[in-house]
A and B are shown apart, each in its own frame.
Chain A
Amino acid sequence: GAVVSQHPSRVICKSGTSVKIECRSLDFQATTMFWYRQFPKKSLMLMATSNEGSKATYEQGVEKDKFLINHASLTLSTLTVTSAHPEDSSFYICSARGGSGVTNYGYTFGSGTRLTVV
């Protein structure tokens, strides 16, 4: 089945530094990738949608200069949290669409990244 690998699974960084999170589709080409953020005991909130080779589309309220998304190939998208602050601490999850899954409509999720900014 379709597999999405997300790394790192957890990262601790100092305030003011940048952190990059990778999302790879291992056995399919992902035409579209989505980035979500989840606060404790809250829903998964869509941050942005990225299509290979084009600029990401950000949801309202998400700072595109702070959360840089690159989708340079059909199997890799990256989210870089720039100049991280403690309020950026959260659980980030990517989703790739393009697998052959019929029942899940082609949406496959990564295992998430726990970011802690100290």
Chain B
Amino acid sequence: DQQVKQNSPSLSVQEGRISILNCDYTNSMFDYFLWYKKYPAEGPTFLISISSIKDKNEDGRFTVFLNKSAKHLSLHIVPSQPGDSAVYFCAVGQAGTALIFGKGTTLSVSS
């Protein structure tokens, strides 16, 4: 049983538009939530995070929203750029234990 789900394996967006990537989790005890960008044969690159006490965190073009009651988080990228094309993973964690990753969503941004 997956503790972290990214139900959309892929997403295609035009340059300049908004990309919305979604993630659902099952355990309400998770303390923090992170988004990573990853290319094949490379380690994940940290993008943005949010703690369980917040519902929104913004960093430049990236905004993460957390809905604790729905156990749902999303990553908004606006405006999307071709360089954003990659696989995006959400990860959740608690109390210093290992991060648990979703299966990832492949984002393709066309110019």
A interface list, Cβ under 8 A from B? 4, 6, 9-10, 32, 34, 36, 42-46, 49, 91, 93, 95, 97, 101, 103-107, 109-112, 114
Contacts and interface: CB of A to CB of B under 8 A. Distances in A.
Contacts, number: 55
8 contacts: A36-B101, A43-B101, A43-B103, A49-B97, A95-B98, A104-B46, A104-B49, A110-B43
B100 interface: yes
B96 A43 contact: no
Contacts of A97: 96
Interface of B: 32, 34, 36, 41-44, 46, 48-49, 89, 93, 96-104
A114 B99 contact: no
Contact of B41 (A32, A36, A114): A114
Nearest to B33: A105
A34 B93 CA distance: 13
Nearest to A106: B96
A49 B101 contact: no
Contacts of A106: 96
Contact of B49 (A10, A34, A36, A105): A105
Contacts of A9: 41
Nearest to A35: B98
A9 B40 CA distance: 12
Given A42-B103, A43-B89, A107-B99, A112 B43 contact: yes
Given A97-B96, A104-B49, 14 more contacts: A10-B41, A43-B101, A43-B103, A46-B100, A101-B46, A103-B49, A105-B34, A105-B49, A109-B43, A109-B46, A110-B43, A111-B43, A112-B41, A114-B41
